[in-house]
Chains A and B, each alone.
Chain A
Amino acid sequence: MNQAVNKLFGGLSGLVGFLLLAGLILIVLPGVLDGFRLNLVGKYLTYAFVAVSLVLCWGYGGILSLGQGIFFGLGGYCMAMFLKLEASSPANTAIQTTPGIPDFMDWNQITALPWFWKPFYSLPLTLIAIVALPTLFAWLISFALFKRRVGGVYFSIITQAIASILTILIVGQQGYTGGINGITDLRTLLGWDIRTDEAKWVLYFVTCALLLGVIVLSRLILTSKLGLLLVALRDQEDRVRFSGYDVANIKIFIFCVAAAISAIGGAMFTLQVGFMSPSFVGVVPSIELVIFAAVGGRYSLIGAVYGALLVNAAKTMFSESFPELWLYLMGGLFIAAVLLFPRGIAGLVERYGPPAMAAIGKRLPVPALRRGAPAVRSAK
């Protein structure tokens, strides 16, 4: 029992933190917020998937990806393509030159559905694609770079460049991608109208459940030997290599997991917000996603979720009143988080939070093995 708690939640304080978060997003917020605001929170929570993914690959693995928007976007686009095809039935698009294809294709004089859109008629294929395509892409990038021992800042810059190239590609290939506007006017999922208040309510809870599941899964990874290896790699990459590990494979794995998690967030974004556009793929959104993780605490799966929630709540409040100031504030926040609070909000709570939290922060004793599970410290 104790061992299970250590493994799934990282000790008792991890369990408390997890339950507090679950209570907040499943009970408190739905109880006090109106439908519009709850939908906003649901949107923020989709960014939290990416923040959690950054805890894995950046906080633990030391791989700073400045291109997580790529995977968030790819997941979101896969979902959007399915919804768009459903919204573009011949009956709905009878007035087009070519009925039955998405409207933006028709506007761009395309007369047949491109081959790569066809699998997105199928929901099962779409669901597979949402996870598989971004993961495959992440594998290609990370295999090419990590096997050549490209890492650190170079890796970050290359991910940023790829994010930027992908944006240009999406914008440029308007007829196939919807261009700068993205894929809009999404309506139903297998006939179920996703624009209604009830649908948004349901999708919010689906997002929460998936996010909590992702956190538990991430925790499982971090408490395994692979989690220890990630921390070890950050400290002494050569020592890990000369202890008999193919270091590149470990990095590739965690980068792919991070991509898959981000992609699920992207798909839930599309469902809740009703569109997907290149403005969620590029450099700026990718950096914003890193800021959420940095502010929340890049060593804390749960902290990262709070980071995404708080920064976005602040962004919504500020950019309503001072839209020009927001970017500077955001930059300042990032610098402050990195320089002054490298462990983010989670670090502050650990240090200045209620002493009771610190007291129970110790790992639980495990009867069978007196040293306890190999849980990584500071992983609330």
Chain B
Amino acid sequence: MTTNPSTASNTDFLLAIEDLTVSFDGFKAVNGLNLYVDREEIRVIIGPNGAGKTTVLDLICGKTRATSGSIRFHNRELTRLAEHEIVWAGVGRKFQNPAIYENLTVAENLVVSYPKGRSVFGSLGFRRDATVQTRVEEVAEAVFLQDRLDEPAGILSHGQKQWLEIGMLLIQEPELIMLDEPVAGMSVRERQQTGELLARICQGRSMLIIEHDMDFVRSIAHKVTVMHQGKILVEGSMDKVHDDPRVKEVYLGH
């Protein structure tokens, strides 16, 4: 059962996760988790494989249903909303492997993600007018794809696909962007570009990022949360986390 939101305290945090637990056949992948994300904060979650990081994102965006606990976004309980309603509330999520539409062009990928015409009849009547077009070009430029607009997304490189998916989130203007290992498999140069990209787009929104690359984490994180066995091990600044012996033991020492 989820906590009754009226008993949970009101909060100024954009995202407030309290006592969140999910159990898969008795195995608690996330176990009594409490996590608070501020407005305009970039929070990075790190932790060993299987710690439950991806599962936390799955719970927030509704892909997995919580066994108990609460997830509030703008003080609105998300655990009871359908996936698309969570998106409408302002939560955007990027998957670990780039999830883009390979058979559509880059521009079409962005048009499909444009946050108007989301109902059946709305999408039938949706017009790709100058406003939409301008926005598509703007976003394409932000994610370094302005010259690839008319190419099928399937032929993009791995890094470009990651960017495109970030662009597909951006065009929806979510208040919270969640990214699962966004720089995995990218070249050094691409990592750097992605870091700049994320720093640029965090204006006016919060981000929750899962990442393993420590240099990358150091370059963007405001605050780092270390997860281990479904729980939070340590939370704080990158330096604090980095020097913590428990973190060294379960994660960084590897």
**Contacts from A to B (Cβ < 8 Å):** 221, 224-226, 228-229, 231-232, 234-236, 238-247, 249-250, 253, 368-369, 371, 373-374, 376-377
* Complex: A65 Cα to B101 Cα, angstroms: 23
When A238-B95, A243-B168 are in contact, do A232 and B130 touch as well, CB less than 8 Å? Answer: no
Q: Give every chain A residue within 8 A of B125 (Cβ-Cβ).
A: 224
7 A-B contacts (beta carbon < 8 Å): A225-B128, A228-B111, A231-B104, A238-B95, A241-B84, A244-B88, A368-B130
Q: Give every chain A residue within 8 A of B111 (Cβ-Cβ).
A: 225, 228, 374
B100 within 8 A of A: yes
* Complex: A253 Cα to B105 Cα, angstroms: 24
**Contacts from B to A (Cβ < 8 Å):** 61, 63, 82-84, 87-88, 92-93, 95, 99-105, 107-109, 111-113, 115, 117-120, 123-126, 128-130, 133, 136, 149-150, 152, 165, 168, 172
When A231-B103, A236-B99 are in contact, do A225 and B123 touch as well, CB less than 8 Å? Answer: yes
Q: Give every chain B residue within 8 A of A229 (Cβ-Cβ).
A: 112, 123
When A224-B124, A371-B150 are in contact, do A245 and B84 touch as well, CB less than 8 Å? Answer: yes
Most buried by B among A224, A228, A368: A228
Distance in angstroms from A252 CB to nearest chain B CB is 8
Q: Give every chain A residue within 8 A of B113 (Cβ-Cβ).
A: 243
Q: A249–B112 contact, CB under 8 A?
A: no
Q: A369–B104 contact, CB under 8 A?
A: no
Q: Give every chain A residue within 8 A of B168 (Cβ-Cβ).
A: 239, 243
Q: B120–A250 contact, CB under 8 A?
A: yes
Residue from the list B100, B105, B120, B150 in contact with A249, Cβ < 8 A? B120
* Complex: A175 Cα to B104 Cα, angstroms: 52
Q: Give every chain B residue within 8 A of A226 (Cβ-Cβ).
A: 120, 123-124, 126
* Complex: A236 Cα to B63 Cα, angstroms: 14
Q: B100–A236 contact, CB under 8 A?
A: yes
* Complex: A239 Cα to B87 Cα, angstroms: 11
Q: B112–A228 contact, CB under 8 A?
A: yes
Q: A243–B172 contact, CB under 8 A?
A: yes
Q: B82–A246 contact, CB under 8 A?
A: yes
Q: Give every chain B residue within 8 A of A221 (Cβ-Cβ).
A: 124
Q: B87–A369 contact, CB under 8 A?
A: no
Q: A231-B101, A238-B95, A239-B100 are in contact. List 13 more A-B contacts (CB 8 A).
A: A224-B124, A229-B112, A236-B101, A238-B63, A242-B92, A242-B93, A243-B87, A243-B112, A244-B88, A250-B123, A253-B120, A369-B133, A374-B128
